[in-house]
Copies of this chain bind each other. A is one copy, B any other.
Amino acid sequence: VAISEFDLIRDYFSTRQQDRADVSLGIGDDAALLQPPPGMALAVSTDTLVDGVHFDRHCTPYDLGWKAAAVNLSDLAACGAEPAWVTLSLTLPEADDAWLSAFSDGLFALLSCHDVQLVGGDTCRGPLAVTLQAHGFIPAGQALLRSGARPGDDLYASGPLGLAGLALWSRQRGIELEQPSASAVFQALDRPEPRVELGQRLRGLATSTIDISDGLLADLGHICSASGVGAVIDTDSLPPSAAFSACTRPLIDNGSLSTGDMLALQLTAGDDYQLCFTAPAAARESLADLGVQRIGRIDDRRGDIRCVDGQGRAHSVTTAGYDHFASQTDL
C-alpha cells in the first residue's frame, strides 16, 4: 500500500501536541477518545474559513492557522467555556511543505497559549478551506447565552473595535497606514486574540454575551433578537484605541476616510473578536477590574438598535466605507 503525499501531512499535526490528561486517544485512529469532566456541560462550536471568502492572498499560512484557531476559541469564549480540544478538517490544493509548516506553526501557537489539544481531523485535496471544531467545558448552568439581556442592563464591549476592519479596508484599497500604529491595526486582523479568559470571568456577571465577528451592530442584533430587547449605543463611549486613532487621523485629514466611515468601521466591521455583553448595573463594580467598556444600555424596544452620541444626537450608520469578506451564518 503506497503512502500518499497526504499521509505525510499527518506529521505536521501529530508531532507537536499539547498532552492533556483528558485525551485518552488523540490523532491516529478512527475517532479521538476524550474524557469530559463530570458535572460540566460540553460546549461545541465550529467555523470554516474559505479562501477568497474569509481570507485572501494577503493572509499568510501562519496567520491562517492562527485565525482558524482564534475564530473557534472566540465562540467558546462567548459562552464562557474553558477550551480543551479541537479537530481540524483541512482541504488543500496540494501538499506543500513550506505552507504546511507555517500553517501548523500558526495553529499551534494559539492553541498552546490556551492549553488546547488537536485531537483529530482529516486532510484532503480540494479548494483551500479550513474547518475547525472546538470543544470546551462550562460548569452546568453557567453558560453565557445570547438570550439573557433584560431592559435596564448595561451594554459592554471588551475592547477596541474597527481595527481589523480598518486593516482590511486599507489592504483592499492599497492605502498605506502610518507606522508604528499600522502594526497594531494589522495584528487585529491577522492574529486576533480571542477573549478566552475574559469569557470565563463573565460567568455569573453577564446576562448575555456574543463575540463580535460580524460587527457590533450585527452581533448586538443577535442578542436583541434572542433576548427580545432593544439597545442604545453611546457612540462617544466606544472603547478608544490609540492605534486606530493614529491611523485614521491622517486619512480623515487627507479625505480618504470620513468621520462617518470611521464610525461605520467601529460599528459594522467584523473580525476583531472582542466580546459584546450585557450585565445589570449591580455588576458594574465587579466588571471594573476587567478592562471592559460600558457602551450603552438595553431597553424594551424589541429589535431596535439606536446609535446616539454624547450630546444625544442620533447617528444612522451605513457600511458604505467597508466591504466585509464573509457571507456566513452560524447554525
Spell out A's residues near B (CB within 8 Å). Answer: 1, 4, 6-7, 9-10, 13-14, 24-25, 27-36, 38, 41-48, 50-54, 75-76, 78-79, 81, 85, 87-89, 91, 118-127, 129, 131, 133-136, 138, 140, 143, 145-147, 209-211, 217-218, 221, 226, 305, 326-331
Are B31 and A124 interface neighbours, CB within 8 A? no
Are B30 and A211 interface neighbours, CB within 8 A? yes
Are A34 and B44 interface neighbours, CB within 8 A? yes
Are A31 and B1 interface neighbours, CB within 8 A? no
State which of B54, B78, B118 has its C-beta within 8 Å of the C-beta of A30.
B78
- The CA of A207 and the CA of B4, in the complex, are separated in Å by 27
- The CA of A10 and the CA of B126, in the complex, are separated in Å by 25
Closest to A8 in B: B329
Contacts of A209 in B (CB 8 A): 30
- The CA of A36 and the CA of B136, in the complex, are separated in Å by 12
Are A46 and B330 interface neighbours, CB within 8 A? no
Are A4 and B41 interface neighbours, CB within 8 A? no
Whether A87 contacts B127 in the complex (CB less than 8 A), given A4-B327, A6-B329, A29-B79, comes out as: no
Are A48 and B133 interface neighbours, CB within 8 A? no
Contacts of A51 in B (CB 8 A): 126
Most central of A27, A30, A35, A119 by chain B CB within 10 Å = A30
Are A41 and B50 interface neighbours, CB within 8 A? no
- The CA of A50 and the CA of B78, in the complex, are separated in Å by 30
- The CA of A43 and the CA of B28, in the complex, are separated in Å by 13
- The CA of A326 and the CA of B124, in the complex, are separated in Å by 8
Whether A44 contacts B85 in the complex (CB less than 8 A), given A120-B330, A330-B30, comes out as: yes
- The CA of A6 and the CA of B7, in the complex, are separated in Å by 35
State which of B47, B123, B328 has its C-beta within 8 Å of the C-beta of A329.
B123
- Shortest C-beta distance, A171 to chain B (Å), equals 20
Are A33 and B28 interface neighbours, CB within 8 A? no
- The CA of A127 and the CA of B92, in the complex, are separated in Å by 12
- The CA of A226 and the CA of B28, in the complex, are separated in Å by 9
Task: Give 9 closest A-B pairs by Cβ, nearest first.
Answer: A50-B126, A124-B328, A31-B45, A30-B78, A121-B331, A31-B43, A127-B127, A6-B329, A1-B221
- Shortest C-beta distance, A100 to chain B (Å), equals 12
- Shortest C-beta distance, A215 to chain B (Å), equals 9
Whether A47 contacts B331 in the complex (CB less than 8 A), given A30-B211, A31-B76, comes out as: no
Are B30 and A41 interface neighbours, CB within 8 A? no
Given contacts A27-B331, A46-B89, A48-B122, 12 further A-B contacts (CB under 8 A): A6-B327, A29-B79, A30-B45, A30-B79, A31-B81, A31-B134, A32-B43, A33-B43, A33-B138, A35-B42, A45-B120, A120-B330
Are A36 and B42 interface neighbours, CB within 8 A? yes
What are 26 A-to-B residue pairs whose CB atoms are below 8 Å?
A: A10-B329, A10-B331, A29-B146, A29-B226, A30-B78, A31-B45, A31-B76, A31-B81, A33-B143, A34-B41, A34-B44, A35-B140, A46-B87, A46-B120, A46-B133, A48-B124, A48-B131, A53-B125, A87-B331, A121-B330, A121-B331, A123-B329, A124-B327, A125-B328, A129-B129, A131-B131
Are B44 and A119 interface neighbours, CB within 8 A? yes
